[in-house]
Amino acid sequence: MTALLAYTIFGLVTGGAYAVVAGGLVLTYSTSKVFNVGHGAIGMVMAFLYWELAENRGLPQWLALLIVVGGCAPLFGLVIERFVMRRLAGAPVGITLVAGVGVLVGLIGAAQVIWPPQARPVRPFLDQLGVHIGQSFVSGHDLVTLACAVLVAGGLYVLLNRTRTGLAMRACVDAPELASLYGTRPHRLSALSWAIGSALAALGGILLTPVVQLDYVTMTLLVITAYTAALVGRLRSLPLTFVGALGLGLVQSYAVAYLPSSPFWISFRAAIPALLLFVVLLAMPQSPLRIGGVRGSRGVAVPTGLTAGVGAGLFLGVVVALALLVDSVVAGQLALALVFGIVLLSMVLLTGYGGVVSLGQFTFVGVGAVTVARLGSTSPLTLLAGAAVAAAIGALIALTALRVSGLYLALATLGFAQLMDKLVLQSPIAFGVRGSLQVPKLVESATAQLLLAAGVFALVGMGVLAVRRGRLGRKMIAVKDSSAACATLGMNVRWIRVGVFALSAAIAGLAGGLFAQLRETVAASDFQLFNNLPLLLFAVIAGVTSVSGAALGGLLLMLLPVLQSGFPAFAGAAVVLLGVAAAGLARDPNGLVSWFFRAWSWRRA
Amino acid sequence: MIDLTDVHAGYGRIEVLRGVSLSVPRGTVTALLGPNGAGKSTLVKVLSGQLRATSGHVHLGGVHVNDAAPDELARAGLCTVPEGRAIFPNLTVAENLRLMRGDPDVVYERFPKLRVRHKQLAGSMSGGEQQMLAFSRALITDPAVLVIDELSMGLAPVIVAELYEVVAELASSGVTMLIVEQFAETASAVADQVVVMKHGEISEDSDLATVYFGGTS
pLDDT value at B210 more than 60:
no
Q: Which domains does chain A have, with CATH numbers?
A: 2-258 (1.10.3470), 305-525 (no CATH)
Measured distance CA(A601)–CA(A350) in Å, rounded:
27
Q: Which residues of A fall within a CB distance of 8 Å from B84?
A: none
Q: What is the ipTM of this complex?
A: 0.84
Measured distance CA(A377)–CA(A388) in Å, rounded:
16
Measured distance CA(B75)–CA(A180) in Å, rounded:
10
Q: By percentage, how much of chain B surpasses pLDDT 90?
A: 37
CB A325 within 8 A of CB A344: no
Residue B97 domain flag: no
DSSP state at residue B91: S
Closest CA to A216 of A80, A114, A100: A114
* pLDDT tens-place string over residues B103-126: 889 899 989 999 999 899 998 999
Measured distance CA(B89)–CA(B75) in Å, rounded:
22
Query: How far is the CA of B135 from the CAs of A62, A254, A445, in angstroms?
Result: 51, 55, 76
Q: Band the pLDDT of A296: cuts 50, 70, 90.
A: very low
CA A445 distance to own-chain centroid: 36
Q: Would the CA dihedral through A19, A24, A27, A32 be positive or negative?
A: negative
Residue B182 domain flag: yes
Measured distance CA(A546)–CA(A302) in Å, rounded:
8
Average pLDDT, chain A: 83
CB A104 within 8 A of CB A51: no
CB within 8 Å: B88 and A183: no
Of B70, B75, B91, which is closest to A171 when you measure between CB atoms? B91
The whole-angstrom distance between A162's CA and the closest CA on chain B is: 10
Please state at what angle helix A2-32 crosses helix A222-232, rounded to 10 degrees.
Answer: 80
CB within 8 Å: B88 and A175: yes
pLDDT value at A575 more than 70:
no
Measured distance CA(A342)–CA(A390) in Å, rounded:
14
Residue numbers of the domain that contains B7: 2-85+131-204
* Mean pLDDT, range A405-426, rounded to an integer: 84
**Chain B nearest-CA residue for A187:** B71
Residue B135 domain flag: yes
Among B83, B92, B99, B149, most A C-beta atoms within 10 A, so best to mutate, is: B99
CB B154 within 8 A of CB B100: no
CA A589 distance to own-chain centroid: 17
Residue B216 domain flag: no
Measured distance CA(A451)–CA(A320) in Å, rounded:
7
Residue B66 domain flag: yes
Closest CA to B27 of B199, B189, B177: B177
- Categorise residue B32: left if φ over 0, alpha if ψ from -120 to 50, beta otherwise: beta
Q: Would the CA dihedral through A187, A189, A195, A198 be positive or negative?
A: negative
Residue B12 domain flag: yes
Among B14, B91, B101, B133, most A C-beta atoms within 10 A, so best to mutate, is: B91
* Other residues' Cβ atoms within 10 Å of the Cβ of residue A102: 28
* pLDDT tens-place string over residues A70-88: 999 999 999 888 887 777 7
Residue B101 domain flag: no
* Mean pLDDT, range A100-108, rounded to an integer: 83
The total of structural domains in chain B comes to: 1
Measured distance CA(A335)–CA(A322) in Å, rounded:
11
pLDDT value at A127 more than 90:
no
Measured distance CA(A368)–CA(A424) in Å, rounded:
13
pLDDT value at A589 more than 80:
no
Q: Which residues of A fall within a CB distance of 8 Å from B82?
A: 177-178, 181
Query: How far is the CA of A320 from the CAs of A308, A337, B21, in angstroms?
Result: 18, 15, 68
Q: Is A166 on the interface with B (CB under 8 A)?
A: no
Measured distance CA(A97)–CA(A536) in Å, rounded:
10
Of A168, A174, A181, which is closest to B74 when you measure between CB atoms? A181
The whole-angstrom distance between A549's CA and the closest CA on chain B is: 29
- Which is higher by pLDDT, A46 or A96? A46
Residues B112-126 as b/e (b if ≥16 CB within 10 A, e otherwise) read eebeebbeebbeebe
* Predicted TM-score (pTM) of this structure: 0.82
Residue B161 domain flag: yes
Q: What are phi and psi of A77, to 5 degrees?
A: -60, -40
CATH number where B166 lies: 3.40.50.300
**A295: three-class secondary structure by DSSP:** coil
The whole-angstrom distance between B141's CA and the closest CA on chain A is: 10
* pLDDT recorded at residue B153: 86
Residues A108-137 as b/e (b if ≥16 CB within 10 A, e otherwise) read bbbbbbebeeeebebebbeeeeeeeeeebe
DSSP per residue, A329-359: HHHHHHHHHHHHHHHHHHHIIIIIIT----S
